[in-house]
Amino acid sequence: MPTSLWLPRLIALATSAAEDDGAHDIHHLHRVWRVAQTLLDAHPEADALVVLAGCYLHDTVNVPKDHPDRAKASQMAARLARQMLTDAGFPVDKLDAVAHAIEAHSFSAAITPTTIEAQIVQDADRMDAVGAVGLARMFYTAGRMGSALAHPDDPLASARELDDTAFSLDHIEVKLARLPAMMNTAAARRLGEERVAWLRAFRAVFVAEWGASIRA
């Protein structure tokens, strides 16, 4: 079944489940699907419809990063997405694959993606965390959580432990810089490395402008 037939339906389903989170809005889902399409070009064996559904419904349940149930969010999203797709008449034989792609996409859940479709969805979602848009999402989320931009005197954590719950800039090294090596597909690893290089270049400029001391 062509993805073009299901794209508007899935956008409508995703929009109906959307919450007030600018880092996980419909535009995030559009970007994830665009990256996934690039990865699909390198993996023609993958089921594009499963990937499409996984891209648009993976955030149907969005639990805040500092919530104790954060690690369960993707499994809750998978259950909700299965029900939504069933009600919408989605091919029954693809529901398990979509559910697995959704439950395995989450960094917090630590569920290994065992299918190429789940690997593509996970890679595409993680790609939106790195690069220029990923940086904007990082600061947006940190602001919602009440984190400071950076440590006032040691923004690079040269003499302290990294703490991205307190200082947003720390998140680049705590998590984002690690993502390319965790990507499942070669294409995603290459693009991820390019985007992390940009993030580190930004961080260098940020630190130069930040200033760690005040002179009289």
In one letter, which amino acid is 118? A
State the angle between helix axes of 26-41 and 3-16 in degrees (0 to 180), rounded to the nearest 10. Answer: 150
pLDDT at 34 over 80: yes
CATH of domain 1-115: 1.10.3210.50
- Compute the radius of gyration of the chain from its Cα atoms: 18
Same fold: 1-115 with 129-216: yes
The model's confidence at residue 172, banded by pLDDT at 50, 70 and 90, is: very high
- CA-based angle 76:79:83, to the nearest 5? 140
The model's confidence at residue 118, banded by pLDDT at 50, 70 and 90, is: very high
Collapsing DSSP to helix, strand or coil, 49 comes out as helix
From the number of C-beta atoms within 10 Å of its C-beta (0-12, 13-18, 19+), residue 189 rates as middle
Report the alpha-carbon distance of residue 65 to residue 143 in Å, rounded.
Answer: 12
pLDDT at 48 over 70: yes
Report the alpha-carbon distance of residue 140 to residue 151 in Å, rounded.
Answer: 17
From the number of C-beta atoms within 10 Å of its C-beta (0-12, 13-18, 19+), residue 157 rates as middle
Report the alpha-carbon distance of residue 88 to residue 71 in Å, rounded.
Answer: 27
Parse the chain into domains and list their residue ranges. Answer: 1-115, 129-216
**93 closest CA partner among 216, 179, 1:** 1
CATH of domain 129-216: 1.10.3210.50
pTM: 0.90
